[in-house]
Amino acid sequence: MNAALAMRCVCGHYAEGVDEDDLARVLRVHLDREHPEFAVDVDDDELRTIIGASAYIAIGGEAAPPFAGGVRG
């Protein structure tokens, strides 16, 4: 089984990466495209803090809990 670092955006979008750096890149693209009004306020350090508090290990894909790390998804 493949494991990934994953989390859901508050909008419900599921994102995953092979590690924290990859997940940060995926989430940055999502923020820039879908939430530009918030993206300008979230720098890379804050994004990594969010990932540290909210990401979880997903094994085998999108089998994500509905509430991961306190962030609704």
Q: Quick check: 15 pLDDT over 70? A: yes
User: Tell me, what's the pLDDT at 16?
Assistant: 94
Could you tell me the pLDDT band of residue 63, with boundaries at 50, 70 and 90? Answer: low
> 25-37, pLDDT tens digit by residue?
999 999 999 999 9
- Cβ neighbours of 54 (radius 10 Å): 18
> Could you identify the residue written with the tokens 């879908």?
34
Task: Supply 51's token pair.
Answer: 């990932």
Q: What is the mean pLDDT of the chain?
A: 84
C-alpha span between 66 and 2 (Å, rounded)? 20
Q: What is the DSSP letter of 1?
A: -
Q: Quick check: 24 pLDDT over 60? A: yes
